[in-house]
Structure 1
């Protein structure tokens, strides 16, 4: 019995030490100064995490003014994350998208409205059937103005719902583009069972909420 107790205490100590090594690194990211991405050819970039990036990419690409949405990873302390390493939940990263958009057509505030309208805003660590820290919701801000707008939106939504919004708010640091086969996954794999049963219904639900901002071919 004493031997068993010693093993349990040792395991707990190792676990605590391991968390102590990881958490400060993640906290440093949360406390960091945001990095503002410069506009290119009149186009800006925004970054969001909201469950499976296949779903989120498709949602944003349906919006007028969005040129492209790219699947990737953000929010973690691990360099060069991959799909396999992200799925362990140990990298600190979440599946995220880089939204390339024309601010003359669609602004950051509208992209925030798209974000909240295309998910269950109170679900912690996931969306729908996808659960784990790699699927958690994160909104990335690049400056004080964006941070204040995010805070305003979250407070208003919490007052409306009477519940806490699950999305974390991070200063943007770096976006790691996902593997090629993840890009445009919903469009290129329409018969995939996950796409049929999760992604397309999620996209269609969003379209019903915000029909006025959709591209003509959507």
Structure 2
């Protein structure tokens, strides 16, 4: 099991209790102007956080039109964060993914549907067995159109599914830090890992069953 899911469980429960809402850093970041990334070989980039990046990477890479999803860290202001720092709550970053997608095949709106459809957006500072602010749900926007798509999706889901319980943060994208190499494509490279078997694959399969058109 991951360090954060086993050895640090008690610490993360305590951290979650002490930080029931957006931190001061979250509030400062929410006031910043978003950074617009440039396309790479025709592929646009989008950024999401919804728990373990091993899980989220695998979900997005299963979507038609997504070339690649990269595991990393975003949502904080600290430079060059490491997995150890993020896992121990020493930064305000969340585990996040950078999604390279072909907008001719899959729209940003549909990526937002994938984002919400592959997690529980009502659990504060937690996703599945992983607890702590580094596992909080965040949808990052790079422009006003993306912000509106995210906010409209939250409004609709709150009205029709979650009865106003969504705790996902909507933040202007600032910077994505790529995670250490051994985290990349972890689900593909370590199919027999207990965490992959017990958490990542069931999450991926639930998404595939519910969103077969993607």
TM range (shorter): 0.7 to 0.9
Which blocks of at least 5 consecutive residues in structure 2 are unaligned? 1-18
- SS of the counterpart of 1:212? coil
Aligned to 1:38: 38
Aligned to 2:176: 175
CA RMSD of aligned residues (A): 1.2
Aligned to 2:11: none
Aligned to 1:129: 129
**Aligned ranges 1:90-109 → 2 under 5 Å:** 90-109=90-109
Q: Return the offset for 1:26.
A: 4.0
User: Which has the larger share of helix?
Assistant: 1
| 8 Å Cα contact 2:25/2:92 also seen in 1 | no
Aligned to 1:165: 166
Aligned to 1:47: 47
User: How many Å separate the matches in 1 of 2:111 and 2:193?
Assistant: 27
User: How many Å separate the matches in 2 of 1:158 and 1:90?
Assistant: 32
- SS of the counterpart of 2:171? strand
TM normalised by structure 1 equals 0.86
TM normalised by structure 2 equals 0.87
**Aligned ranges 1:61-210 → 2 under 5 Å:** 61-160=61-160, 161-210=162-211
User: How many Å separate the matches in 1 of 2:72 and 2:57?
Assistant: 10
User: How many Å separate the matches in 2 of 1:25 and 1:200?
Assistant: 33
User: How many Å separate the matches in 2 of 1:167 and 1:26?
Assistant: 12
Q: Return the offset for 1:59.
A: 0.1
Aligned to 1:8: none
| 8 Å Cα contact 1:26/1:77 also seen in 2 | no
Q: Return the offset for 1:120.
A: 0.9
- SS of the counterpart of 1:158? helix
Q: Return the offset for 1:25.
A: 4.3
- SS of the counterpart of 1:76? coil
Aligned length: 192
User: How many Å separate the matches in 1 of 2:118 and 2:79?
Assistant: 29
Q: Return the offset for 1:40.
A: 2.0
Larger Cα Rg: Structure 1 or Structure 2? 1
